[in-house]
Structure 1
């Protein structure tokens, strides 16, 4: 499909720079077939059914952005994908000036050697440190890797350390937050329990590739970066049981949906999963397991807008996004959310 089909006008003022406070007071657009309902994230339970199962991504964001120097030249890197405890693929600026064998110094006790440069623009760094494990060192010297659309000083803002983690964040490894999960609070979870709605967790370590623009003209020519994910046998069994009981699978965020669909079987059941996925979902994809999607609002021509258009229909999503823009909804990581039913079943 032509990438231009997924373009729309988005004012810069629509991109949220900070989350709602409290987080569960963000707006929620319920997207029906013929009408839209403007409500609040805190009211999510009212739009779900007993026996539905919400699936959260419990990955935890690491402070993956580092500022350093190669000689006297400044270098900024964002960790992208783990190869080993001390070796990561990164996106670097300026990547073109880095050469294999160069050393980048980030702090007195943290430096990295350039081992490889890929055709896709990634750089492989091997980190050297004096005392603490790399993850502990990053907690001291790294910055939360907010997307480039959120404007921050290079040293970041302290509050982002909490704002950019979900209530479920457990397993370190993501370099971008599963942002639909940012809205959930303890009082929201209580309201879901009161309504008889079940929950489950999966892990997908979101990579920085989620921020990369689509530079090709046709979606068939775009290469997705792979991300590591895991679904336990227990989680798969719980989701399969919920479906047998008549409940719907509600993916909280596109990351949960991508992992669930990667592990789904053609007969509509879910299998345990552990490994990489580079699934790229565009209109025409046949969904196997996810019935409802809660998602933030995404940017024009992004792979994430392509995904929600595949899920709920391109025409319907363009109309929903136009309504959101005209109604002052806030977009992207710190923005508001929408609730979508699959295109062949538009009832919520």
Structure 2
């Protein structure tokens, strides 16, 4: 266990020049560069040709989350500007239910310029389809660096309508610019459908309808799951060793039907994005947890170091059967759980055989995940990309890693 926790984050760093960070996407999503790695072999191509590199017995798993207009701005009577960044719903604590509310919700939020906002309520007028309502925001509690904010309004609008109309789409902080109208399209995947993320699952940004059609023609199976990406995905590792880093928690939603398919799956599972990797790998550890005595009413969650502390090992089939038994017992058609899993070098992958991903920031937990899959080759891959004019981070180029 200690060998995992004592990994030095400085060993997973590289020099990323500012000019290599893609501030804007390419005009055509699938014209991005593709770096292909397989067992040490590295090749450069275009993403639109990715089908040529995927085995016919592949099963691609996409994260269908959609980025919400999470940034809300209010102005006090004094003129002070307050930003409320919605992170996740608290009452109700389900994204779908929260977006359906028509009068009041409570969200966990970050607040910009919070020192200028005492205990008074903030308000602003919003017009939707010719009708006007007043959106009010009130602090109800503080949790470390975040706040619980109660939002209330009238006229029967859903919170989904409120936030879509009045909020601003968040884009990554390292782009060093404000979001623009074009980001409304380019910072969503073409298959985004389930509201809840505050950051895009960026590996999916390269896919177009044409690429998806090519995959289908090759009889490559496509499936969807949901992980709502949190702001913690951009949280830097500030500790010398990874043991000192508190991994962020994210909500995962996977259908019973998909788990049943996994139970008899004979195909190579390729995760589209690190969010899909985390979801699928967490699913295995959830199955182990559900095989033990557990109160069915308790919140399901995978903690940060749980995979490394768990000495019980089950086959993938046994783990998935435990989840299906739980869903039968609770009469649910989807499994919903939270994951805080951190995947670091030395981790043994359970469900995935490959991944599609972007290039990640130096000294980040996502780069550790890449190091876990590629081993020492992660450095060779990133050196190749830097020497061959690849574009980096969210709007940058893509990678396909296969074993």
Normalising by structure 1, report the TM-score. Answer: 0.91
Q: Give 1:294's aligned residue.
A: 356
Residues 1-348 of structure 1: pairs in structure 2 closer than 5 A: 1-70=7-76, 71-83=78-90, 84=92, 85=98, 86-95=105-114, 98-99=117-118, 101-108=119-126, 109-119=134-144, 121-131=145-155, 132-153=157-178, 156-243=179-266, 247-264=267-284, 266-269=314-317, 270=320, 271=323, 273-313=335-375, 315-341=376-402, 345=403
Q: CA deviation at 1:224?
A: 1.6
Distance 1:97 1:302, change over 3 A: farther
Q: CA deviation at 1:36?
A: 1.4
Q: CA deviation at 1:298?
A: 0.6
Verify the 8 A CA contact 1:19 1:163 in the aligned structure 2.
yes
Give the gaps of 5 or more residues in structure 2: 1-6, 93-97, 99-104, 127-133, 288-313, 325-334
Verify the 8 A CA contact 1:57 1:203 in the aligned structure 2.
yes
Partners of 1:69 and 1:308 lie apart in 2 by 42
Give the gaps of 5 or more residues in structure 1: none
Verify the 8 A CA contact 1:52 1:242 in the aligned structure 2.
no
For the residue of structure 2 that corresponds to 1:20, the secondary structure is coil
Q: CA deviation at 1:181?
A: 1.0
Summarize deviations over 1:40-64 as a string: whole Å, max 9, x none.
1111111111121000001111111
Partners of 2:117 and 2:174 lie apart in 1 by 25
Partners of 1:103 and 1:320 lie apart in 2 by 51
For the residue of structure 2 that corresponds to 1:144, the secondary structure is coil
Partners of 1:327 and 1:179 lie apart in 2 by 21
Q: CA deviation at 1:96?
A: 5.1
Partners of 1:172 and 1:49 lie apart in 2 by 32
Verify the 8 A CA contact 2:358 2:399 in the aligned structure 1.
yes
Distance 1:281 1:17, change over 3 A: same
Q: CA deviation at 1:211?
A: 1.4
More helix by share: 2
Coordinate RMSD, CA, aligned: 1.7
Count residues in correspondence: 334
Q: CA deviation at 1:95?
A: 4.0
Verify the 8 A CA contact 1:98 1:114 in the aligned structure 2.
no
Partners of 2:371 and 2:83 lie apart in 1 by 34
Verify the 8 A CA contact 2:80 2:116 in the aligned structure 1.
no
Q: CA deviation at 1:33?
A: 3.4
Highest CA radius of gyration, 1 or 2? 2
Q: CA deviation at 1:69?
A: 2.8
